[in-house]
Chain A
Amino acid sequence: MEIGKELYAYREMIFSLVRKDLRGRYKGSVLGFLWTFINPLFQLIVYTIAFSFILPSPIEKYYLHLFVALIPWIFFSSSLQGGANSIMAAKNLVSKIYFPREVIPIAYVTSCFVNMLLTFVIIFLVVMISGVGLNALAIATLPLIMITEYIMALGLALLFSAVTVFFRDMEHILSIITMAWIYLTPVLYPLDMITNETIRKLFYLNPMTAVIEAYRDVLYYARVPEMNTLLVSFLFGIIILIFGELVFSKLKKRFAEVL
Chain B
Amino acid sequence: MEEQYAIEVSNVKKKFRIFYDKGNDLKERILFRKRNYYEDRWVLKGISFRVKKGEAVGLIGHNGCGKSTTLKLLTKILYPDEGEIKLSGRVSSLIELGAGFHPDMTGRENIYTNASIFGLTRKEIDTRLQEIIRFSELEEFIDNPVRTYSSGMYMRLAFSVAINVDANILLIDEILAVGDTNFQKKCFDKLREIKAHGTTIVIVSHALEQIEQICETSYWIENGLIKDSGTPKLVHDRYLKSMEEKRNQQLTIQHEEEQKPEEKPELPAFCEKTAIRMGTGAVWFTHAEMQNLQKEKQYIFRTGEQIRLILEYETETDGLQGNFGYGIFREDGLHCYGTNIFIETGKCIALQRKGRIEILFRNELLPAKYFLDIAVHSHDGIIFDDIRQVLTFAVTSEKQDIGVSRQETTFSWG
Looking at the assembled complex, report how far the CB atom of B19 sits from the nearest CB atom of chain A, in whole angstroms: 11
B4-12, B54-62, B117-125, B341-349 - interface stretch: B117-125
B24-67 near A? 1/0 per residue, CB < 8 Å: 10000000000000000000000000000000000000000000
| A251 CA / B324 CA spacing, docked (Å) | 75
Looking at the assembled complex, report how far the CB atom of B41 sits from the nearest CB atom of chain A, in whole angstroms: 12
With a cutoff of 8 Å between Cβ atoms, the chain B residues found around residue A254 in the complex are 79
With a cutoff of 8 Å between Cβ atoms, the chain A residues found around residue B72 in the complex are 256
A95-103, A150-158, A173-181, A240-248 - interface stretch: A95-103
* The one of B93, B99, B104, B116 that contacts A10, using a Cβ cutoff of 8 Å: B116
Query: Considering only CB atoms, which chain B residue lies closest to A168 in the complex?
Result: B24
* The one of A24, A94, A99 that contacts B102, using a Cβ cutoff of 8 Å: A24
With contact pairs A16-B113, A24-B102, A24-B104 given, residues A97 and B119 touching in the complex (Cβ less than 8 Å): no
Looking at the assembled complex, report how far the CB atom of B57 sits from the nearest CB atom of chain A, in whole angstroms: 19
Q: Is the CB of B78 within 8 A of A16?
A: no
Q: Interface residue tally of chain B, by bracket?
A: 20 to 34
- A131 contacts chain B at the CB level, 8 A cutoff: no
| A27 CA / B102 CA spacing, docked (Å) | 11
Q: Is the CB of A12 within 8 A of B121?
A: yes
- Residues in B96-112 with C-beta less than 8 Å from chain A: 96, 99-100, 102, 104-105, 112
Looking at the assembled complex, report how far the CB atom of B30 sits from the nearest CB atom of chain A, in whole angstroms: 15
Q: Is the CB of A98 within 8 A of B77?
A: yes
| A244 CA / B319 CA spacing, docked (Å) | 99
Looking at the assembled complex, report how far the CB atom of A29 sits from the nearest CB atom of chain B, in whole angstroms: 11
Q: Is the CB of B104 within 8 A of A16?
A: no
- B361 contacts chain A at the CB level, 8 A cutoff: no
Looking at the assembled complex, report how far the CB atom of A167 sits from the nearest CB atom of chain B, in whole angstroms: 10
Q: Is the CB of B112 within 8 A of A16?
A: yes
* The one of B16, B91, B102 that contacts A98, using a Cβ cutoff of 8 Å: B91
Q: Interface residue tally of chain A, by bracket?
A: 20 to 34
Q: Is the CB of B91 within 8 A of A15?
A: no
* The one of B16, B102, B115 that contacts A20, using a Cβ cutoff of 8 Å: B102
Q: Is the CB of B105 within 8 A of A97?
A: no
- Residues in A80-118 with C-beta less than 8 Å from chain B: 92-99
| A168 CA / B112 CA spacing, docked (Å) | 32
| A253 CA / B16 CA spacing, docked (Å) | 13
Query: Considering only CB atoms, which chain B residue lies closest to A252 in the complex?
Result: B79
| A53 CA / B176 CA spacing, docked (Å) | 68
- B85 contacts chain A at the CB level, 8 A cutoff: no
With a cutoff of 8 Å between Cβ atoms, the chain B residues found around residue A2 in the complex are none
- B229 contacts chain A at the CB level, 8 A cutoff: no
With contact pairs A12-B120, A257-B16 given, residues A95 and B125 touching in the complex (Cβ less than 8 Å): no
With a cutoff of 8 Å between Cβ atoms, the chain B residues found around residue A257 in the complex are 16-17, 78
With a cutoff of 8 Å between Cβ atoms, the chain A residues found around residue B118 in the complex are 99
Q: Is the CB of B102 within 8 A of A93?
A: no
Q: Is the CB of A16 within 8 A of B99?
A: no
Q: Is the CB of A97 within 8 A of B16?
A: no
- B297 contacts chain A at the CB level, 8 A cutoff: no
| A254 CA / B81 CA spacing, docked (Å) | 10
A73-84 near B? 1/0 per residue, CB < 8 Å: 000000000000
Q: Is the CB of B96 within 8 A of A96?
A: yes
- A1 contacts chain B at the CB level, 8 A cutoff: no
* The one of B16, B75, B112, B117 that contacts A93, using a Cβ cutoff of 8 Å: B117
Q: Is the CB of A12 within 8 A of B99?
A: no
- A28 contacts chain B at the CB level, 8 A cutoff: yes
| A10 CA / B100 CA spacing, docked (Å) | 14
Query: Considering only CB atoms, which chain A residue lies closest to B79 in the complex?
Result: A253
With contact pairs A10-B119, A16-B116 given, residues A93 and B99 touching in the complex (Cβ less than 8 Å): yes
| A22 CA / B395 CA spacing, docked (Å) | 62
With contact pairs A20-B105, A93-B99 given, residues A9 and B119 touching in the complex (Cβ less than 8 Å): yes
| A24 CA / B119 CA spacing, docked (Å) | 21
With a cutoff of 8 Å between Cβ atoms, the chain B residues found around residue A200 in the complex are none
With a cutoff of 8 Å between Cβ atoms, the chain A residues found around residue B227 in the complex are none
A161-173 near B? 1/0 per residue, CB < 8 Å: 0000000100000
Query: Considering only CB atoms, which chain B residue lies closest to A100 in the complex?
Result: B119
Q: Is the CB of B77 within 8 A of A96?
A: yes
| A82 CA / B91 CA spacing, docked (Å) | 30
- B383 contacts chain A at the CB level, 8 A cutoff: no
B124-158 near A? 1/0 per residue, CB < 8 Å: 01000000000000000000000000000000000
- A11 contacts chain B at the CB level, 8 A cutoff: yes
With a cutoff of 8 Å between Cβ atoms, the chain A residues found around residue B115 in the complex are 12
20 contacts between A and B (CB under 8 A): A10-B119, A12-B121, A13-B116, A13-B117, A15-B116, A15-B122, A16-B116, A20-B102, A27-B105, A92-B96, A92-B99, A93-B99, A97-B95, A97-B117, A98-B75, A98-B77, A98-B93, A99-B117, A256-B72, A257-B78
Per CB-CB distance, the 9 closest pairs between chain A and chain B, nearest first, are A96-B96, A12-B116, A13-B116, A253-B79, A16-B116, A98-B75, A16-B113, A98-B76, A256-B77
Further contacts, 8 of them, CB under 8 A, given A16-B112, A93-B100? A16-B116, A17-B113, A20-B102, A24-B102, A93-B99, A93-B117, A98-B76, A256-B72
